[in-house]
Amino acid sequence: MEYWGLLKALERGEVPTLLLLHGRESLLIDELLDRLTRACFPDPAQAALDRESLVGEATTADAILGAAASLPFLAARRLVIVREAGALPAREAERFLAEMERLRGAAGAWPPPSAAVVFAAQALDARAPLRKAVPPEAQVEVRAPTGRALVGWLQARARGLGVELTDEAAELLIDLVGEEPGRLAGELEKAWLYAGERRIDVAEVRTVVGETRVRRLFELTRALEGGEAGAALRTLDALLTGGEEPLGLLAQVTRHVRELWQAKGWAEQGRAVPELARQLRRPPKAVEALLARAGAIPEARLGRALAECWEVERRLKSSRDDPAGLLAVLVAGLCRG
């Protein structure tokens, strides 16, 4: 089952009998567990009596099977959640697998219709017994949304808080904070507390994210536009030391290269600065600086620069290379043009 398919099913009130949720994003897994709880128990009082929460390291196969076999008290079904399921002792996991197969052979299905059993794990090896015990169609890999889906995810969270988040504000929040859901959710809540009942626009985002961080990100972009390698590397180091995620900073650098390429192409088509400013959502003076920098770099070099950004992204996600070193080499190369 796909993550987004599960979300839609829960919105319709459809709760699968058996689920295995796994992935790196603990925030998204916790949100899914909350949604499952609300879907099972429209009345919160029911959850107090008919939901059982177990922890993998401290539970046993008998506890899981017994919880699923217990009849619900007030609700239509009993919800059994096993958190940190990857920490279930191997002996208990193997025993659970064997017993579940026996029950399926005797009754034709497990869990029983009166229960919904959900395993949740942040890290789970493909060879783990639980991966064998739960059918593939009941396994959901929880991945962080990206691109437009991330904007929609932020706006949905804002609606849940009772406030509107504009497209521009959501995009700026992602630009400033990066794509890590936990950090985005935290900054969104700050913006909500600041905005109150008003909608969250660009001004609120700039206020809550912090002027120092905004200024440093601006300084990095300005140094890249001016080809100032020393200033760019100092700012990059300050941002990383301040806790910025390497992938978030890479997104900023990649966006700068893409804008250089776009500005160069559009200028060659004869588009004026005011039009480019509207297209790029940048002040005219910033666009003029962008055009000056783009004019000094051959188009083929810009194409290679964008490919270099993608290569750094691949290495950040798949290797043990030093993120700071990779970014420093990339930024220095971009400044040299």
pLDDT digits (tens, 9 = 90+) for 134-161: 888 999 999 888 888 889 889 988 988 8
* Mean pLDDT over the full length of the chain: 84
CATH class of 212-336: mainly alpha
- Residue 250's nearest CA partner among 174, 165, 312, 333 is 312
Q: Are 256 and 250 in contact, with CB atoms under 8 Å apart?
A: no
Give the pLDDT confidence score for residue 164 in this predicted structure. Answer: 92
Task: Compute the radius of gyration of the chain from its Cα atoms.
Answer: 25
The count of C-alpha atoms lying within 13 angstroms of the C-alpha of 164, restricted to the half-sphere facing its C-beta, is 6
Return the CATH fold of 147-209: Helicase, Ruva Protein; domain 3 (1.10.8)
- Cis-peptide into 111, omega within 30 deg: yes
Give the pLDDT confidence score for residue 210 in this predicted structure. Answer: 65
Report the range of poorest mean pLDDT among 167-181, 207-221, 260-274, 299-313.
Answer: 207-221
Give the pLDDT confidence score for residue 211 in this predicted structure. Answer: 58
Domain with CATH 1.10.8.60 in the chain: 147-209
pLDDT digits (tens, 9 = 90+) for 102-138: 887 776 678 888 999 999 998 787 888 888 888 889 9
* Chain-centre distance for alpha carbon 42: 28
- pTM: predicted TM-score of the whole model, two decimal places: 0.58
Strand blocks (E) in the chain: 18-22, 51-55, 78-83, 115-121, 139-141
The Cα–Cα gap between 29 and 269 comes to 48
- Residue 262's nearest CA partner among 249, 246, 275, 250 is 275
Does the structural domain 3-141 have CATH classification 3.40.50.300? yes
Give the pLDDT confidence score for residue 51 in this predicted structure. Answer: 93
The Cα–Cα gap between 136 and 125 comes to 14
Place of tokens 């939901």: 51
Please give the average per-residue pLDDT across 245-251, as a whole number: 88
Domain with CATH 3.40.50.300 in the chain: 3-141
Give the single-character DSSP code of 162.
Answer: T
155-161 long-range contacts, Cβ below 8 Å, gap at least 24?
A: 157/185, 157/188, 158/188, 158/192, 158/200, 161/188, 161/189, 161/192
Domain with CATH 1.20.272.10 in the chain: 212-336
Q: Are 315 and 321 in contact, with CB atoms under 8 Å apart?
A: yes
Report the range of poorest mean pLDDT among 10-14, 75-79, 87-91, 289-293.
Answer: 289-293
Give the pLDDT confidence score for residue 20 in this predicted structure. Answer: 94
| Interaxial angle between packed helices 284-295 and 246-268, expressed in degrees from 0 to 180 and rounded to the nearest 10 | 80
- Residue 311's nearest CA partner among 287, 330, 333 is 330
What's the sign of the alpha-carbon dihedral 220, 195, 174, 323? Answer: positive
Strand, coil or helix: 21: strand
Strand, coil or helix: 146: coil
Q: What is the DSSP string of 55-68?
A: EGGG--HHHHHHHH
Give the pLDDT confidence score for residue 195 in this predicted structure. Answer: 83
pLDDT digits (tens, 9 = 90+) for 312-329: 999 988 877 888 999 999
What is the residue type of 140? V
Give the pLDDT confidence score for residue 213 in this predicted structure. Answer: 67
Q: Are 165 and 188 in contact, with CB atoms under 8 Å apart?
A: yes
212 pLDDT above the threshold of 60:
no
